[in-house]
A and B are shown apart, each in its own frame.
Chain A
Amino acid sequence: MLLIWTSILFPIVAAFAVAIGPTKSAKWTAFAGTLVSLGALTLFAWNFPAWHNAEHFPNTTGPSWIPHAGITFSVGFDTVSLLLALLSAFLMPLCIVGSFSAITERTKEYYGWFLVLGSSIILAFAARDAILFYIGYEFTLVPMTLIIAIYGGTERRVAAIKMFLYTFLGSMFMLATLLYIGWEHRLAVGAWDFDIDTLTKTATRLPSSTQYWVFAAFMVGFAVKVPLFPLHTWLPLAHDQAPTAGSVILASAMLKLGTYGNYRFALPMAPAGGADLMSFVAVLAIIAIIYASLICWVQTDAKKLIAYSSVAHLGLCMLGLFALNPVGAEGAVFYMVNHGLSTGALFLCIGMFYERYHTKDTDVVGGLAKRMPVWASFMVLFTLASIGLPGLNGFIGEFLCLGGTFISEHDGQTGYPGVLGPWYAVVAGLGLIFAAMYLLILLGKLVWGPLREPHDDAAHTTSAIRLPQDLCFREIAILTPLAVACIWLGVQPKPMLDAIAPCAERMLANYPKEVERYMSQSAGTPLASINGKTNESRGE
């Protein structure tokens, strides 16, 4: 408990130290703050007793905050939230170091907000109380909006406002739903309580029609954050305009709050809604995969390309979650972590060459393997990880997500109410081929081929800090841990998968009984018709 609160609160303390202290030492204070946070969390994970069961630790209720409303300071992790929190805490110091040369103005505010951002993300993952989760989830918006609006590119204000409004609107729906479930609990028991497990128990007892709406409202909130297809438009702009470190945290940690929200709230709390709407969400996810991939294909801005590829990858992650079987869920969670690592690393790589050339346009810059061999090797490694080359981390998650989708058929064998089946997997699999194509085209332009550099060196001279041609020690030190993690998880995924598996099963614990509900219903339900269709088409 103490270690968790240390990792949440120490960055805030450090943020105050940054605000009060001198400008010169701000970055080192921030770095120390995030290191302590990471250290505390690592120490906690080292002694974490619940790696191989789906329990939370610590599983006790924290001190009360607002007793009349049942809001408490309860924190605790299960394997999934611990992994995601570790990912965020791991990326934080890297991002801080990565900003040393990029941020030269208003540095105190920047590092201060970055620390606050880190602690609110960890709070969201650690929270065992729904309101506490909401506080962390929602408050991430404030520092991120400011980081984009102050330190971003030319359209930064539009990007920041768009991001804020989209996400704020979505999360208001989420809040209303949380309060609604709290109210149902109040009706059932007589007291308000926002403990997530309690709420889950209450919500799963609601009638199916109510669960449908609960699920839909949760989806509005989380789909904006993920982002799912029609609600994704804020993301590419935000990524494009954000400073490098902001993009990294946005892609690697903040978007995971959306998928984590599905894992923790939407799916377990409203199984009937999840089962009814799964094909709808899956279709949106597949549209996201294909549509974003096609955009990537014609994209010449390297950063936007990675941003859209993020939309496609998270579409796959959502597809895995909504296969509604343990294989898909396990893959989705594994993929969340790995997408965080590889996409975060890619944004860092793009940021590093942007600092040197002040352009992200792949028509202007290219063939950098000649100029920056070290950078090029990292870039190739992370791109391949992102494509999902076997042996690197991306592959396992993608494979499991697709595998889960493939076997997600409601035939009474698996015991889960999946309706997706092979055709969904095939179409989504096309997205992976696209991903290989556009990412390899990016590599071909940026890394290989004839050397192309922008002519004016004015940008070089105005840069406050002169950077060497290839990566300096600091930059190598940032990318190396990420590279090690990518390779390690690609070669040795089993410990992590074993740890995730019980949680995935626990999340879906209420789904087998949905099968019975469908069985007992007469023919003509959406599920039966879709299932019939897939069977027919397979028969052909």
Chain B
Amino acid sequence: MIEAMSPRLILLAPEMILFVAAVTVAILGLSKNHGIRASLPFITCAALIASIAAVPLTWTNENSQAANLLLPTLGRFVKPLLAGVGVLLVLLSVGSVDRRMEESVARGRMAFDPQRVVRGEFYAFFLLSIMGAMLLCNAQDLIWLFLAIELVSLPTYIMVAIGGSGNRNQEAAVKYFFLGAMSTAVFLYGFALLYGSTGSLQFLEIRNALATQSAGSGIDTLATIGIVLILLGLCFKITAVPMQFYAPDVYEGAPTHVTAFLAFVPKTAGFTAMVLILTCVGWSGHTLIDTDGIRIPYTGLPTPIAAILWMIAILTMTLGNIGALLQSSVKRMLAYSSVAHSGYLILGLIAGATAGIEALFFYLLAYGVMTTASFAALAAIERRGEEINSFSDLAGLRLRHPVMAWMLAISAASLVGMPPFIGFFGKIYLFIAAFEADQFGLVLAAVLNSAISGLYYLKLAIVPLVAPPSARSEEVTSVPSRWPFIAAVVCGVGTIFLSAIAGPLVGAAKSSAQASPIVLTASQAAVPTASTH
């Protein structure tokens, strides 16, 4: 037992680092010394960087194979991705966690409450949530998957509430929590049905059971409904239709630095979970080309699941983009844009192993950097101590805060898919993957949607750079902390720099998407491995 456990434990080294850091940060947050409390974000950063370093050291081939994982190389890309964007997200929150509260006290909106000044727990929850997302990569059964994904979500509910001050945060947190709880119920029910159909909680066994079913009369109805429910429940995490309704309200209500977190971490976790579940189902037509160049028909996911994902993808990108067109609030617009990007990302899920999955994770990297750039630029400025909300606050931003105006423009260009920014390569790669899966219709839908998205992203670039300043935007000042500013610049430069090294990054994503080979037991030996449904 111990021998079987040890490689799994070694693989968990990054999570352990984060856990220790989370506890440390929570305790240090109680210190009376302001200097120690002020160092908390940097301890958080250090822990995240240490966990990045721990991944290549511990995630060796022997260890991951011994751990008997479904996707033995997944963590090698996803964990550094989470921690790397996490570092930028921490920088966004420096200064704003404590300060919003001080601001409220100074303005007489709340009485001074010494217990609330201490916000070490914010960073502890931050680390725990990222740790949950990392744990997903090590999941080998449904229970682990469930615990990990709840570990991602539960801290975020609290972060929305305590990240800033004021009633809007609380309102957003409550709304987020109740809808999140509902989505949890939905996918938990799906887990139950899947267990009922396959008789196992282990991914590898579920996969074998489903392969046996599909080699026979096809995956049975119970399992199909289970998988569909799981996917629908996870749609909440990735802000996809039909669970996207909370996104604009919660994104707008949450403090900006937490919004940036919500836009990236739960989404990455949700997609990782979806990849795991769908890998159990399997894309039977993985290899389209045989050596003689003859086209083998792509069978893809089982029809009901593929159809549901198709509808989710098209509706999500269309509703997201059309919703974003109508917004006058920047954060709501970015919320809808986040919905639209989920729609593009689902292309990767439909395209499947391995091209689709690597495109998915590569796009998540691109998306993480560029969306953090836009939120960081928003977090670096404020108007009369309040967060920036409407476009009229941003008009003529260039005159007073040129760098932030440029960063907003760069992130908009990258989000719309303008070359040579990283968003363009992300999109190209997703489209290529969709082509490989013969999903020409989806590519066309995504292309048309990208064209629509040009309308509102252009607004995000033109308003700060070109529009004349309004009465509201005259009052915009930069926040006292310089760290959000630095995060915005790093992300902005990153959108250009990462596309220069897109080749190696794609290579890294590629090596992460390999599923472990199907090993059939003696009773299943008659079932062909490249099964069709």
Q: Bound complex: CA of A188 vs CA of B295, how far in Å? A: 9
Interface membership of A356, Cβ < 8 A = no
Partner of B432, one of A135, A157, A192: A192
B465 at interface, CB cutoff 8 A: yes
Q: Do A164 and B440 have beta carbons less than 8 Å apart? A: no
| A-B pairs, 8 with minimum CB distance | A135-B419, A183-B435, A169-B451, A149-B466, A168-B454, A66-B503, A176-B447, A172-B451
How many residues on chain A are close to B (CB under 8 Å)? 39
The CA-CA distance from A101 to B420 in the complex, in Å, is 32
Q: Which residues of A contact B432 (CB under 8 A)?
A: 69, 179, 182-183, 192
Given A173-B447, A183-B435, A190-B293, CB of A69 within 8 Å of CB of B429:
yes
With A146-B465, A161-B458, A179-B432 known as contacts, the answer to whether A69 contacts B293 (CB < 8 A) is no
Residues B428 and A69 in contact, CB atoms below 8 Å apart? yes
Nearest-CB distance from B338 to chain A (Å)?
A: 21
CB closest chain-A residue, reference B459: A161
The 8 Å CB contact of B447, one of A66, A165, A175, is A175
Contact with A along B479-521 (1 / 0, CB 8 A): 0000000000000000000000011001100100000000000
B419 touches A64 (CB 8 A): no
B454 adjacent to A146 (CB under 8 Å): no
With A69-B432, A157-B467, A188-B293 as given contacts, are A139 and B420 in contact (CB-CB < 8 Å)? yes
* CB atoms of B293 and A165 under 8 A apart: no
| Residue B418 interfacial (CB < 8 Å) | yes
Please report the C-alpha to C-alpha distance between residue A68 and residue B293 in the assembled complex, in whole angstroms.
Answer: 18
- Give the residue among B413, B455, B503 with the most A Cβ atoms within 10 A: B503
Q: Write the chain A residue with the least CB distance to B413.
A: A142
Known A66-B503, A172-B447, A172-B450: A187·B455 in contact at CB below 8 Å: no
B444 part of interface (Cβ distance < 8 Å): yes
Closest CB-CB distance, B454 to chain A, in whole Å?
Answer: 4
Determine if A67 is an interface residue (Cβ-Cβ < 8 Å): yes
Give the Cβ gap from B32 to chain A, nearest Cβ, in Å. Answer: 46
Set of chain A residues within 8 Å of B431, measured between Cβ atoms: 176, 179
Please name 18 pairs of A and B residues whose Cβ atoms are closer than 8 Å in the assembled complex, sorted by A: A131-B428, A135-B424, A142-B413, A150-B466, A157-B466, A160-B466, A164-B454, A165-B454, A168-B454, A172-B451, A175-B428, A176-B431, A179-B435, A180-B435, A186-B435, A186-B436, A188-B293, A190-B289
CB of B502 within 8 A of CB of A65, answer yes
Per-residue CB contact flags for chain B residues 423-465 toward chain A (1 = under 8 Å, else 0) read 0110011011001100010011001101100110010001001
Contact with B along A47-71 (1 / 0, CB 8 A): 0000000000000000011111100
Taking the closest CB of chain B, its distance from the CB of A140, in whole angstroms, is 11
Residues on B with beta carbons closer than 8 Å to the beta carbon of A183: 432, 435-436
- The answer to whether A65 touches B503, judged by C-beta atoms less than 8 angstroms apart, is yes
Flag whether A475 is at the interface (Cβ < 8 A). no
Cross-interface CB contact of B418 among A65, A138, A189, cutoff 8 Å: A138
Least Cβ–Cβ distance between B35 and chain A, in angstroms: 36
Residue of B nearest to A156 (CB): B466
**A156 partner residues in chain B, CB cutoff 8 A:** 466
20 A-B pairs besides A146-B466, A183-B436, A187-B293 with CB distance below 8 A are: A66-B425, A66-B506, A69-B432, A135-B420, A149-B462, A149-B465, A150-B465, A161-B458, A164-B458, A169-B454, A172-B447, A172-B450, A173-B447, A176-B443, A176-B444, A179-B432, A183-B435, A187-B288, A188-B293, A190-B291
Interface size class for chain B?
Answer: 35 or more
Residues of A close to B435: CB separation below 8 A: 179-180, 182-183, 186
What A residues does B502 contact at CB under 8 A?
A: 65-66
A207 to chain B, nearest CB (A): 14
Alpha-carbon separation in the docked complex, A186 to B431 (Å): 13
Residue in A145, A146, A150, A179 whose CB lies within 8 Å of B428:
A179
Chain A nearest CB: distance from B460 CB in Å? 12
CB distance from B470 to the nearest CB of A (A): 14
Using Cβ atoms and an 8 Å threshold, which residues of chain A touch B458?
A: 145, 161, 164-165
Closest to A139 in B: B419
Known: A66-B425, A179-B431. A157 touches B462 (CB 8 A): yes
Bound-state CA distance A17–B231 (Å) is 51
Identify the closest chain A residue to B444 (Cβ).
A176
Q: Report the Cα distance A183→B288, complex, angstroms.
A: 12
Give the residue among A135, A168, A173, A182 with the most B Cβ atoms within 10 A: A168
**CB within 8 Å of B: which of A23-48?**
none
The answer to whether A67 and B507 touch (CB under 8 A), given A142-B418, A164-B458, A176-B444, is yes
Query: Do B450 and A134 have beta carbons less than 8 Å apart?
Result: no
* Residues from chain B with Cβ under 8 Å of A131 in the complex: 419, 428
Chain B residues positioned under 8 Å from A173 (CB to CB): 447
Q: What string of 1s and 0s marks CB contacts (under 8 Å) between B15-26 and chain A?
A: 000000000000
A157 to B: closest C-beta gap in Å: 6
A:108-153 near B, CB below 8 Å: 131, 134-135, 138-139, 141-142, 145-146, 149-150
Partner of A68, one of B289, B424, B443, B507: B507
Q: How far is the CB of A348 from chain B (nearest CB, A)?
A: 25
Instruction: Please tell me if the beta carbons of B451 and A168 are within 8 angstroms of each other in the complex.
Output: yes
| CB proximity of B297 to chain A, nearest CB, Å | 12
Known A-B contacts A65-B503, A150-B466, A186-B436; the reply to A139 vs B418 at CB < 8 A is yes
* Distance in Å: Cβ of A514 to nearest Cβ of chain B: 26
Task: Report B157 CB to chain A, min CB distance, Å.
Answer: 38
Which residue of the partner chain A has the closest CB to B292? A190
**Interface positions of A from 159 to 203, Cβ below 8 Å from B:** 160-161, 164-165, 168-169, 172-173, 175-176, 179-180, 182-183, 186-190, 192
A187-B289 contact given A139-B420, A149-B466, A169-B454, CB 8 Å threshold: yes
- Which of B295, B443, B467 has the most chain A CB atoms closer than 10 A to its own CB? B443
For A150, the chain B residues whose CB sits under 8 A away are 465-466
User: CB-CB < 8 A to A160: which residues of B?
Assistant: 462, 466
What's the minimum C-beta distance from B79 to chain A, rounded to whole angstroms?
22
Expressed in whole angstroms, the Cα–Cα distance for A186 and B413 within the complex equals 29
Residues in B with CB closer than 8 Å to A168 are 416, 451, 454
Q: Check B289–A134 contact: CB distance below 8 A.
A: no
Interchain CA distance A507-B429 in the complex, whole Å: 30
A67 touching B462 by the CB < 8 A rule?
A: no
**A224 to B: closest C-beta gap in Å:** 11
Given contacts A179-B435, A183-B435, A190-B293, contact A172 B419 (CB under 8 A): no
Residues on B with beta carbons closer than 8 Å to the beta carbon of A172: 447-448, 450-451
Complex-state Cα separation, A164 to B461, whole angstroms: 12
The smallest C-beta distance from A360 to any residue of chain B, in angstroms, reads: 23
